[in-house]
Structure 1
């Protein structure tokens, strides 16, 4: 069974493949947008992660006839009233510029003390079938913002995010210092996708 991932993000594709493999799901092939029939990608103008995930998943299912999985995710910082939020990928004004996004967020939080640096990665995944069946789930990964980047793994705000699990263990590694397997086991996207695993498994048997 083919499932279209409404993204060309290679790291996200690899992460989703790993999560499904770890769950023991076989016979499911996740395709990037580049492997699907070409269509005009919709404008992600939703106000929430769920809005944007559904916009992308519905468009993929409609234009390709494939079951489509879309993820919209970002960083929510309490001190910034939930921002960057849905603007996480373009917080600096340019889409996908991780270095500038991180630099801007660090500057905005420069004088914020440790006790007020709570943040959470949020992932909303939407799975839409060509016949209109829809499933929407959310995963959250709680932690704090560091005052300088740590690590080179992952992407986005990973170098700035200190997970609560690392704080509790006293190891104090950022998300960008975790292995892919460690991150998948506790990340926001992993938690969201885990809720879709039974649904994907059921679809694969139909």
Structure 2
């Protein structure tokens, strides 16, 4: 079984990625299992941050590494919170405080459109010149109050147009199919089938 380090400490992301990569007989290990500290994320784009995180985890473990950089982009806020979604309301990170801040910022906004965006970068080794890159988006709108108990991050505020449910109201298997991360992982799986680790 191939071992792959996930360059994240986010339990929700680890769970989603682990479930989806099982089909390729890939053992997913969190970077914390190797004592790898979180990488710096100084960049303005999801792709640059994901690449930095993947190279960092691979360099410190000697294993292939997969990093995800994702966030929610709100049209009325010019794409914010974007790459700072996880710490929109500052440190320490808190989903509840992030959601409160987003609701406050959106209070006077009529345009509620938003989308989650995810970029996955997989490097076979730290200096891989051809990393596998996959992206996915999930479109919806920001509600005026939270709904649902599941998911994480902004899921209680994010309404999927087509399904009429928030990310926090969807069962995990359905969320994994329709979400930004699910779509990016499906694209990555296809690339891995064509170019195995």
For residues 185 and 103 of structure 2, the distance between their equivalents in structure 1, rounded to whole angstroms, comes to: 29
Residue correspondence of structure 1 range 77-96 to structure 2 within 5 A: 77-96=74-93
Compared with structure 1, are the counterparts of its residues 203 and 2 closer, same or farther at alpha carbon in structure 2 (3 Å cutoff)?
A: farther
More deviation in 94-103 or 49-58? 94-103
Secondary structure (helix, strand or coil) at the match of 2:44 reads coil
> Offset of 1:40 from its aligned partner?
4.3
Residue 14 of structure 2 is aligned to residue 19 of structure 1? no
1:138 counterpart (135, 139, 146): 135
Secondary structure (helix, strand or coil) at the match of 1:176 reads coil
Corresponding residue number in structure 2 for 1:187: 179
Q: CA RMSD in A?
A: 1.5
Secondary structure (helix, strand or coil) at the match of 1:126 reads strand
> Offset of 1:69 from its aligned partner?
0.2
Corresponding residue number in structure 2 for 1:108: 105
Contact 2:120 2:135 in 1 (8 A): yes
> Offset of 1:129 from its aligned partner?
1.0
Corresponding residue number in structure 2 for 1:29: 27
Contact 1:68 1:129 in 2 (8 A): yes
Structure 2: segments with no counterpart, 5+ residues: none
Corresponding residue number in structure 2 for 1:129: 124
Contact 1:6 1:57 in 2 (8 A): yes
Secondary structure (helix, strand or coil) at the match of 1:63 reads helix
For residues 12 and 41 of structure 1, the distance between their equivalents in structure 2, rounded to whole angstroms, comes to: 14
Residue 115 of structure 2 is aligned to residue 117 of structure 1? no
> Offset of 1:91 from its aligned partner?
0.7
Secondary structure (helix, strand or coil) at the match of 1:165 reads coil
Structure 1: segments with no counterpart, 5+ residues: 167-171
> Offset of 1:198 from its aligned partner?
2.8
Q: TM-score, normalised by structure 2?
A: 0.93
Contact 2:8 2:38 in 1 (8 A): no
1:175 counterpart (151, 154, 167): 167
Corresponding residue number in structure 2 for 1:169: none
Corresponding residue number in structure 2 for 1:76: 73
For residues 121 and 57 of structure 1, the distance between their equivalents in structure 2, rounded to whole angstroms, comes to: 20
For residues 50 and 92 of structure 2, the distance between their equivalents in structure 1, rounded to whole angstroms, comes to: 17
Residue 55 of structure 2 is aligned to residue 58 of structure 1? yes
Contact 1:89 1:95 in 2 (8 A): no
